[in-house]
């Protein structure tokens, strides 16, 4: 628990303009899924792995544990009472600086989406991307 608090503080003191943004829409969906699963300890984990048609691929899972190296972003839901968390490990965090983590519903369906200003190119499905520099490419175990 202490380690998690330290990462929350670490994120708080980072340059606020580069911290990823977790939208209210995404927080509401996470909360709805927590209610459906009857588990208020679930958090959205966002990961990046090598692969996908553009080089990197986003991953979204639910996790009830906060790892020691996780960056934790908290978002208040639209009910103005419930707070949910998104977890990003330290290897993936640099790829998500200034990104927006959102949940969308449209003709293509419902899904979590990342709007990433660091992405040089994205594929049509929106789940893979490439960036300018590949020096620290995450691998499958990093996310």
pLDDT in tens, 43-89: 999 998 877 666 788 899 999 999 999 999 999 999 999 999 999 99
In whole angstroms, give the CA distance from residue 44 to residue 33.
10
pLDDT at residue 134, as a whole number: 47
Greater pLDDT, 83 or 131: 83
Which of these ranges, 22-31, 57-66, 88-97, 114-123, has the smallest mean pLDDT?
114-123
The tokens for 104 are 């969308």
How many CA atoms lie within 13 Å of 53's alpha carbon, on the beta-carbon side? Answer: 6
Q: Is the separation of the CB atoms in 50 and 114 below 8 Å?
A: no
* Helix (H) / strand (E) containing 45: strand 43-50
Specify the pLDDT at position 65.
95
N-to-C CA span, the chain? 21
Backbone angles phi, psi at 22, to 5 degrees: -105, 115
pTM: 0.75
């Amino acid at each position: 628990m202490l380690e998690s608090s330290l990462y929350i503080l670490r994120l708080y003191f980072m340059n606020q303009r580069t911290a990823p943004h977790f939208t209210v829409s995404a927080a509401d969906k996470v909360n709805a899924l927590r209610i459906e699963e009857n588990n208020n300890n679930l958090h959205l984990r966002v990961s990046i792995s090598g692969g996908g048609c553009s080089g990197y691929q986003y991953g979204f899972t639910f996790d009830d544990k906060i790892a020691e190296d996780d960056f934790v972003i908290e978002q208040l839901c639209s009910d103005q009472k419930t707070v949910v968390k998104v977890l990003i490990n330290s290897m993936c965090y640099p790829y998500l600086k200034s990104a927006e983590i959102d949940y969308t519903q449209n003709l293509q369906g419902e899904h979590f989406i990342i709007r990433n200003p660091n992405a040089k190119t994205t594929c049509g499905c929106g789940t893979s991307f490439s960036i300018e520099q590949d020096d620290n490419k995450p691998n499958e175990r990093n996310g």
